[in-house]
Amino acid sequence: MSGDHHDDALISRRVRRLETLLEEKGVLSGGALDEVIDAFLSGASPANGARVVARAWTDPAFRSRLLADGTAAVRELGFMDGSYQRLRVVENTETLHNVIVCTLCSCYPLRLLGPSPSWYKSESYRSRVVREPRAVLAEFGLGLPADTEISVWDSSAETRYMVLPRRPAGTESLDETELAALVTRNALIGTAAV
């Protein structure tokens, strides 16, 4: 899953063409566009998703709210303000493992997971994880027991997904900050465990 450089180049050309059109039509200047993008990305980090997970691991009431209405729950922590997408959080259990994808493009909860990795946007990942999730997860180094069910969640323009990984055993004495440090972006996508 190293990513498809052809797809990345195509996306880059499309983005650059859109930027050029916005500038040519006088909708935005190049500098204004850069400021908007920089402001948007400044708060985007997988550390945000890790904080959400750590809170869910330590606060059962928050965990319940997160699983019932992810958007409202993460707003409690100051994330997703101004976002129009719905966030759905899916929980890994002893018998169920979740993984997210966007088969049409690369929809992704950017504020919670940071910029998406190139492999997430690649056609290979987007098509294969739906058909053969166990094989794709194995390529990421995640071997799951044969009896573990795997659910693949397809993001869209309206709904984004984030995985709530299983809390590792032996972490009962860790506080939220220490727990958040254990959570990786790939665990939030479902291509890794914590």
Query: Which residues carry out catalysis?
Result: 102, 105-107
User: Is 145 in contact with 28 (CB distance < 8 Å)?
Assistant: no
| Among candidate residues 125, 126, 81, 121, the one with its CA nearest the CA of residue 103 | 126
* CA atoms of 72 and 78, how far apart (whole Å): 10
- The b-or-e profile of 99-134 (16+ CB within 10 A means b, else e) is bbbbbeebbbbbbbbbebbbbbbbeebbebbeeebe
| Among candidate residues 60, 58, 86, the one with its CA nearest the CA of residue 72 | 86
| Bridge partners for 91 per DSSP | 164
Question: In the chain, what are the helix, strand and coil shares in percent, each to the nearest 5?
Answer: 50, 10, 40
What's the Cα-to-Cα distance from 179 to each of 61, 90, 114, rounded to whole Å?
18, 19, 19
Give, as one character, the DSSP assignment of residue 170: T
